[in-house]
Amino acid sequence: MKKRIVLLMATVMMLAKGYSQINQLSISDLYTPNAPGFALADVSPSSIDKPTTPRAFGISLLNLSQGGAMEVTPFWLTNHANLTFDKYIQKKTPLLETFNLSVATFKTDTVNNVAAGFRTHIFRSYSADKIKQLQGIKNQIIQALATDPTNIDTAAISKFKQDLTDARKRGFFLVELAGALMASSPTNSYNDLASSKSGFWLNARWAPDNSALDFMGLARYTWTNNAPVKAADSSFFDYGIALSYATGKFDCELEYIARRDFSIDKSYTRFAFVANYMFSESVIAVASIGKNFMSTGNILAAFGVKFTVAKERVSLF
């Protein structure tokens, strides 16, 4: 009987996904943080990322002509039959499940840059009330399936599944570790490619339940490598906060960041308004306007497009 219930659940989940996911998809399902390489170079639309479950594969285009990035989350490229819903939700340190690698390339003036980056969730915790809610919805699905196999209410099960998906998007606190290494080439030649900047940082996110608001925080340390002039060999410490509001196909964010340049004992600030809009279930446009860190030429105006690939596979055996 237990095997029969498992088989029926998997079958119904696949059928329900086919006709419900597109209609109920929101930007929170597809929101993808910037590649760490873009954040390291201060060219990304947003400098404070909202940590989310990474997609298996994604592509970003920065200002359409200045560069782009590709990223991959190796864990989600294969099946994991032993990873249950309970294990995934209750795990506090989903390092492997969220470990994401990216490569970015972009131009700044006449210099071509290549950056490799990573990010992973080092801590995630759902509230006790949220865990209880998720368990309750899961039990409703099990009870709905533990009936006469010829008289299963597929509409009710589909609704429970959507409720489960929506519920796990809120009511948690998350800390993400990210890092990147950037190399530059003034001649656009690999022979002249040399390391130019490195950094590590933490992104924090609190997503309170029954709210469309997200509160984010940032702590980042970066330093330059192989600077041609000693005075340019700077190390920075950035810290800041951001507030995000998401609804339907639209997500907007206000961020403020303070930077301390230790080499010349000087401070800078950055503030920006960032907007993301979901055109389809795989394409998101992002635009940003504000002030960047530099003292001159600091008008921030960025536009990009993100392509995401998210494929769920369910095996009956």
In this prediction, residues 262-280 reach a mean pLDDT of: 89
Of 256, 250, 178, 248, give the one whose Cα is nearest residue 215: 256
Can you give the pLDDT at residue 69?
85
CA–CA separation, 23 vs 45, rounded Å?
28
Specify the pLDDT at position 87: 85
- Where do we find the tokens 């998720």? 134
Residue 177 is predicted with a pLDDT of: 97
109-140 pLDDT, tens digit per residue, is 778 889 999 999 999 999 999 999 999 988 88
State the pLDDT at residue 7.
37
DSSP 296: S
State the DSSP code for 162. Answer: H
Q: What is the CATH number that goes with domain 31-127+171-309?
A: 2.40.160.40
Query: 177: which strand partners?
Result: 120, 202
Alpha helices (runs of H) in the chain, residue ranges in sequence order = 2-24, 27-30, 36-40, 85-90, 95-98, 128-145, 154-167
How many C-beta neighbours within 10 Å does residue 228 have?
8
3-class DSSP state of 104? strand
Q: Which helix (H) or strand (E) holds 277?
A: strand 266-278
| Statement: residue 173 has pLDDT above 70 | yes
Q: Specify the residue for token string 């301390």.
A: 260
Helices then strands, each counted (H, E), the chain? 7, 12
Residue in 279, 274, 13 with CA at minimum distance from that of residue 144: 13
Report the C-alpha gap between 149 and 145 in whole angstroms. Answer: 8
> What pLDDT digit, counting tens, does each position of 75-122 carry?
988 888 888 888 888 899 999 999 999 998 888 777 888 999 999 999
> Which is higher by pLDDT, 204 or 287?
204
- Please tell me the pTM assigned to this model: 0.80
pLDDT for the residue 317:
30
Residue in the structure block whose two tokens are 């003036």: 109
Q: Mean pLDDT throughout 267-284?
A: 87
Kindly provide the b/e burial profile for residues 266-278, where b requires at least 16 CB atoms within 10 angstroms of the residue's own CB.
eebebbbebebeb
